[in-house]
Every structure is written in structure tokens, then in C-alpha cells.
Chain A
Amino acid sequence: MDTYLLQIFNGISVSSIFMLAALGLAITFGLMKIINMAHGEFIMIGAYAAYMVQNFFSQYLPASFFNFYFFAAIPASFLLAGVLGWILERLVIRHLYGRSLDSLLATWGVSLILQQLARSIFGAPNVDVKSPDWLNGAFLVHPGLQLPYKRLFIMLMVIACMVVIYYLMYRSNYGRKIRAVMQNRAMAASLGINTRRIDAYTFAFGSGLAGIAGCALTLLGSIGPTLGTNYIVDTFMVVVLGGVGSLWGTIAGGFLIGTGNTTLEFLTDATLGKVLVFTLVILFLQWRPKGLFTIHSRSLDE
């Protein structure tokens, strides 16, 4: 029984990382109809940002500060991934609006370039990020069921991000503009919204979220240049399963894919588990092609 509970707990914590990575993708895909294959590489960039912050703390700051490096790593991951995302949008993505298939190829190329860049800078072998001491250990529910602090911390971090995203998207001026552009680009522009600028900021923000997801991943294992490729397929699956452009759908999709992955892998094995998850998603999409949360509206022109 305890093993099952632990599996579910692990599933939820993996889900939370998927949600974070997928939210960035859902926003940019919903907003710009760009299929960003390089999104996974922003996870990788965020992870290496955490690695660099860790090295900086261990080399230049007194040892007593090291325990707090992770609090600097989170914003650093967000900023580095966000700035690189902004540059990518300015250089490549903005030329691809309205060309989904071209965007898929071009961003795939970008993802290969970014992977090679990471290999050149940090070397091909995986590197380890040492977790701060206070994250080692586990919360003891009762003997036989321990919940690792790292995974609890990741869940808290994701919840905090979700709250920030919610306020940003649904309670702020900026979020209102993003939603307006998502729902009707021409009309948003006709109301004086600079849609190109919204696109660039939003793309940077989505990339930054992937960066935070990468930062969280450093707590769970070593990181390497191909970290992103392991996650991009699952992340896309979350977006498609949840329903494109729907934040609630992304959260639900992330939860289902994450727990589905870990549960089915536990019950069968890693390969078969993956196959089962894919099969279930494909079957589900046969039944509801638009995903879990579809947007219904009474629109006169539809």
C-alpha cells in the first residue's frame, strides 16, 4: 500500500514539472500557433543556469551561503531562459508567424544548435547539481512512507508559479492583452494593442517558465545537453491532451500524463509504460480531438 502511495506522490511531483514546462508551451502555441520544438532546450538552459549559480556560490561565496543558492537559481533560470527566448523570438520566430509547419522545422534546427552549444560550453557528459542540505531527507508520514523534501519543494514551487501565472493572465492588464491577442489578433490590434510586442514578451515568459522547470529538474538527477529532448514529447502531449490554449487543460493534462507515466511504468516497465500512455492519449484524442478542455462560445461568425 505504501509503495503505491509513494508512486502516486512521485507521479504528482513529476506532473508538476510537466505542467510548468507545458504551460509555457501552451501559451506560446495558443497565442502564436508556433510549434516550438526548441522549448525543451529552454528546460535544459534553465537547468544549466542552476548549475552555474551553484558553481558561483561554491567558488566565490562563503560556504554558509551555499544552502541558499537555490533561491538565486530559480530567478536566474527564469531570466536566462527568458532572455534567450526573447532573442530567439526576435531572430527566428517572428518570421514564422502563420507558418506552423515551417516553425516546426526551424525550431527543431534551433534545438540542435542549442544542444551543441551546451555541449561546447559544458561538455558532453552529464553534470551534477548538488542539492542544498535542507532539501535532503524526507518527510516521515509513518515508517515505510517517506516523502522526499525535494519533491515536496518542487510541488510547492510549481504551485507558487501557477498562482503567479494565474494572476498575471487573469488579473493583470498584461494578461488581458495576451488573452485578447489569443482570442482575436486582428481585433486586439484594432484596439491599439501592439501584438508583436505581446508576442515577444509572451514567448520570453513561456521560455522562462521552461527554465524554472529545468531548475526544478536539477533536484531530481544529473543534467546534460539532451535533457530537453527527454521532456519535449511529453510536454507536447500534455498541451494536446489538455486542449490548446487552455490553462486549466494544461494543468489537468500535466497531472494525467505525469501520474499516468509513473503509474504505468511502475505496473509494467519503462518502455511498455510509455507505449501504454501514448496509446491511451491517442485513443482519447479519437474520442475528443480538441482535448480535455475545449473552448465553447456563442460566436456569431462561427
Chain B
Amino acid sequence: METVLNVDKLQAYYGESIILKDINLKVQEGHIVCLLGRNGVGKSTFLKSIMGLVRTPSGSILFQNKELINKPTYFRARAGIGYVPQGRDIFPQMTVEENLQLGLEVNNGNGNISPEIYELFPILKEMLTRKGGNLSGGQQQQLAIARALVAHPKLLLLDEPTEGIQPSIIQDIGRVILQLKKEGYTILIVEQYLEFILNIADEYYVMDKGNIVAQGLVSSMDQEDIKSKIAI
């Protein structure tokens, strides 16, 4: 099985303060990998450093065996990484449709939004002409995932997709992720909500204070131990 993402000894900084000290992490093709950890330990920064949105002076990010560490953000997106950030980052002044069309920019705006997107997220089809900023949090989350999926990324990065979202939509999102797994998507999820990832993820990593402190297969996870590592 091919390794889609291979992160080696990655360091990341905000200004002068070090956030990630020495991160090693691998994602195999077709796997769903979950990165767990408390608030503020560097999980979101890790995803940002994969996208090139924070300063990463040393380390290596191999994506499909190509080095990305010195590439600009847009290049990484065009290489096939889809990113759903924590704040969703929907373009508030644009319609739902325009937000989705921007997902095609990795191919210079060519191509179409496949009907499959609306099958995964039926709610979006009803709201195509609404402004992104007028959607509820859950709807924005679904739109952000849909926008990343439009271009069929080879690796999907999800940053806390359940945060601040009502339970019924969390279930919907869980179903979508399982559906994507069936279709062979490779996904790296950052989460704090252990129950959510137990039945969707294959592997887990636990991060604390900028380091990976535990890793393994979800099927053989010691839940009590992991809970104690990510509980406050």
C-alpha cells in the first residue's frame, strides 16, 4: 500500500514560538487517520503546516513521494490536498454555488461539480443561491467539506469537523466520511471527540505539547488510556 503522506521531523513556528517540535506521521492510501489531543497542543497547526500556512523551518512533508516543505500553499492544493479548516472558512459574501465552484480552482476552474456532491450533501442543493455567510454552522461545515471534495483530492484534511455542531449533523458528517472511505478516499482528521472517530478511523495519533505521544491502530486502542491523554 502506498504512503500518501509522510511527515518527518517536522517543526512549526508561530513567529518566534515553537508549536510543533518533532512530528513524524504517516498516512497510507485509503486509510482514515485521526490525530487526537487537547486544545492548544498543535493539532490545527499541524494541518496548517501541511498546507504551508505556518512557518516550517525544518523537517520534511512527502506527499506521494514529492517534497512539499518549500512549496507555496496553492501548489500543495493543486498537488491534491483538500483542506477543511477548523473555522470552516466559507467565503461569507459568496453564494453556496460560488463557494463550490472555487473548489475547482485546483484545475484552473475547469470541470464541473459532480452530482455526487449533492447526493452526499442534499441540503446544499437547496441552498445554491444563498450567501455562504447566512448558513448555519453545520451547513457551513458540510459546504466546506463539499468544497474540498469537488476536486477529488488524494488526501483530505479535516480539522475538528464536529466542533460546535448539533448532534444530528455530526451523524450526517460521520456517514459522509464512512461513504468516502468506501470510495477509497484517504483522510486525516483532527478531533477531540473520541466516540466520533472510534467507528470511522483506522489509525490514531495522539499529540501533546507539540509532540506525538501515542499512536496505533484504532482496533487495538486502549480507550481508557487515550481518554486520560486527551481529557483535560
CB of A186 closer than 8 Å to a CB of B: yes
Contact of A176 with B106 in the complex, beta carbons under 8 Å: no
Contact of A183 with B93 in the complex, beta carbons under 8 Å: yes
Contact of B105 with A300 in the complex, beta carbons under 8 Å: no
Chain A contacts for B134, CB-based, 8 A: 297-298
4 closest Cβ pairs, A-B complex: A297-B133, A192-B106, A297-B92, A192-B77
Mind listing 24 A-B residue pairs with CB under 8 Å? A176-B94, A176-B102, A177-B102, A177-B105, A179-B93, A180-B102, A186-B53, A186-B73, A187-B85, A189-B72, A189-B77, A190-B51, A190-B73, A190-B74, A190-B89, A192-B74, A192-B77, A192-B106, A193-B74, A194-B74, A297-B134, A298-B133, A298-B134, A299-B133
- A-B contacts counted at CB < 8 A amount to 79
Residue of B nearest to A245 (CB): B93
Chain B contacts for A59, CB-based, 8 A: none
Q: In the bound complex, how far is the Cα of B84 from the Cα of A190, in angstroms?
A: 9
A interface list, Cβ under 8 A from B: 173, 176-177, 179-180, 183-184, 186-196, 295, 297-301
B interface list, Cβ under 8 A from A: 51, 53, 72-74, 77-78, 83, 85, 87-89, 91-94, 98, 101-103, 105-107, 109, 131, 133-135, 137, 140, 147, 151, 164
Known A176-B101, A186-B73, A187-B85; further 9 A-B contacts with Cβ < 8 A = A176-B102, A177-B102, A189-B74, A191-B147, A192-B106, A298-B92, A298-B133, A300-B88, A300-B140
Chain B contacts for A186, CB-based, 8 A: 53, 73, 89
Contact of A183 with B91 in the complex, beta carbons under 8 Å: yes
Q: How far is the CB of A175 from chain B (nearest CB, A)?
A: 10
Contact of B106 with A183 in the complex, beta carbons under 8 Å: no
Q: Which of A173, A179, A189, A196 contacts B91 (CB 8 A)?
A: A179
Chain A contacts for B133, CB-based, 8 A: 297-299
Contact of B106 with A191 in the complex, beta carbons under 8 Å: yes
- Of B87, B105, B106, B164, chain A has the most CB atoms within 10 Å of the CB of B105
Contact of B94 with A190 in the complex, beta carbons under 8 Å: no
- Of B74, B134, B137, chain A has the most CB atoms within 10 Å of the CB of B74
Q: In the bound complex, how far is the Cα of B85 from the Cα of A297, in angstroms?
A: 18
Q: In the bound complex, how far is the Cα of B73 from the Cα of A301, in angstroms?
A: 22
Q: In the bound complex, how far is the Cα of B78 from the Cα of A173, in angstroms?
A: 17
